Amino acid sequence: MDSAMAASRLGAWAPVWARFRREPLALAGGVFLMLLIALALFAPILPIRDPNHGYYELLPLDGRPLPPGSAFLLGSDANGRDMLSRIIWGARISLFIGFFANGLALLVGISIGALAAYFGRWFETALMRLTDIMMAFPVLLFSIALIAIIQRGSVLVIVGVIALFYWTAVARIVRSQVLSLKEREFVEAARALGGSSRHILLTHILPHLVPIILVYGTIGIATTISTESILSFLGIGVQPPTADWGKMVAEGQGFMFLAPWLVVFPGLMILLTVLAFNLVGDGLRDALDPRSQAFFRGAMGAAATGGALTAGQRPGLESGALDAPLAGAPTPGGSSGLQGETV
């Protein structure tokens, strides 16, 4: 049974992929991210210079940074360090923080949102007010203050700080979904058969949240990476000499007119990476959303190629509630969940 279930679940993603790959922008974003992840993973074995070593002997007497195309493909910074190496190694930091901070935020957000909605009453009130309080904090000010207290920024501190703030949006979306899901017949059936809360949440409700998690997780990484860059730019991120895009922009700003490549290359990488994650996230949302154009194109394509497509095999897509919370504007009174009931 297990393997049969797995097969049918995997099969359910085939049409999603079929729709996704028809989105040229999303596909381009995906290809870019694959390349970036590969570069980041293999940075230690790539034939590139040590990103933290300053080749002062190569700098001219007045110490100005070397331009791209000279001894260094993308030029050097003012410490004689290889910009190319630093950008590749910087990708490791950005992606690591992007995935882990956002993963942590998702974990916390899903848990809090699902538990709040499922158990309701004072428990829900307490958790959701906590969410409201966290959303009201000015993230940057709080991060600066926190890191000033901790004294030393590090990758893990940044992961923690970002996760601390970015679980709130996920929690709200998950809550509205679970509010709807827990009234559905299959949950009622499971409860009638004597299923425990834990069983119902993990086995029956969680799978229906996967699409939301995917979409929100991808777009969330973009937010996380830009936040991390801002923190590093302000000097409260990773410690020197670690290469980090935000820090590279900060270090290069004095040389903006003299050696624009110090700012342009890392700035471009932040831009492209954030853009790519957003495009992929958008593409995923369209591919998973039954009401979007892409859905119909994909559905017909999938049907033509004989792909099975039934409502039961597309977890979480029944309600069409995906787009409302994802657009960042929950409908009043959590009605998006109730609408799902009537479909």
Partner 1 sequence: MNRRAALILAAVMAGSAVLAACGNSGTTSTTGGQPVYGGTLITTFKDDFKSLDPAIGYDTDSWSIERALYNGLLDYKGYTTQLVPDIASAMPKISADGKTYTFTLRHDVKFSNGRGVTAGDFKYSWERMLDPKTAGPMTGGPFWGSVTGAQDFFNGKTTSVSGIKAIDPYTLEIDLDTPNLAFSNILAMPFAFVIPKEAVDAANGDFAHHPIGTGAFTLASYTPGQLLVLKRNPTYFGARPYLDEVDAQIGVSTDVAYLRMQNGQVDLPQPDVSMPSSNYIQLNGDPRWSSRIVRQPNVDIWYISMNVNMKPFDNVKVRQAFNLIINKANLVKILNGRAVINNGIQAPPMPGFVSGYNPLGLDSNGQNLTKAKQLLQQAGYDASHPFPAQDFLYANTTPDADRESASMQQDFKQAGITLNLKGLAFASFLDLVGKPNTVALSWTGWIQDFPDPSDFIDPLLTCASANVTANGTNNPFYCNKTVDQLADKARGDTNTTERLTLYRQIQDIVAAQDFPEVPMYSTVETSISSTRTHGYQIHPVWPLVLTTLWVSGAASSAPAASASASATSS
Is the CB of 256 or the CB of 343 nearer to partner 1? 256
Q: Does 293 bind partner 1 (CB under 8 A)?
A: no
Q: Does 257 bind partner 1 (CB under 8 A)?
A: yes
Binding mask 75-94 for partner 1 (x = CB under 8 A): ---xx---------------
d(CA 286, CA 278): 12
d(CA 84, CA 43): 11
Q: 255 burial class (0-12, 13-18, 19+ CB within 10 angstroms)? A: middle
Is the CB of 69 or the CB of 254 nearer to partner 1? 254
Among 241, 267, 290, 320, binds partner 1 (CB under 8 A): 241
Is the CB of 80 or the CB of 298 nearer to partner 1? 80
For residue 208, how far is the Cα from the chain centroid? 19
Binding mask 29-48 for partner 1 (x = CB under 8 A): --------------------
As given in the structure block, the two tokens for residue 96 are 């690591």
Is the CB of 76 or the CB of 218 nearer to partner 1? 76
Is the CB of 52 or the CB of 339 nearer to partner 1? 52
φ, ψ for residue 76 (rounded to 5)? -120, 165
CA angle 47, 49, 53 (to 5 degrees): 160
Residues in 124-163 that interact with partner 1 by CB under 8 A: 144, 152
**CA distances (Å), origin 98, targets 91, 239, 280, 334:** 10, 18, 14, 29
Contacts of 73 by beta carbon, 8 Å cutoff, 6+ apart: 83, 84
Which among 32-40, 68-76, 93-101, 246-254 is the span making contact with partner 1, rule CB under 8 A? 246-254
Neighbours of 309 (CB within 10 A): 17
Q: Report the nearest approach of partner 1 to the CB of residue 336 (Å).
A: 38
Neighbours of 241 (CB within 10 A): 15
Contact 237, 159 (CB under 8 A): no
Residues in 46-75 that interact with partner 1 by CB under 8 A: 52-54, 56, 59, 61-64
Among 239, 291, 296, 303, binds partner 1 (CB under 8 A): 239
Give the interface with partner 1 as residue ranges (CB under 8 A).
52-54, 56, 59, 61-64, 78-79, 144, 152, 234-235, 239-241, 251, 253-255, 257-258
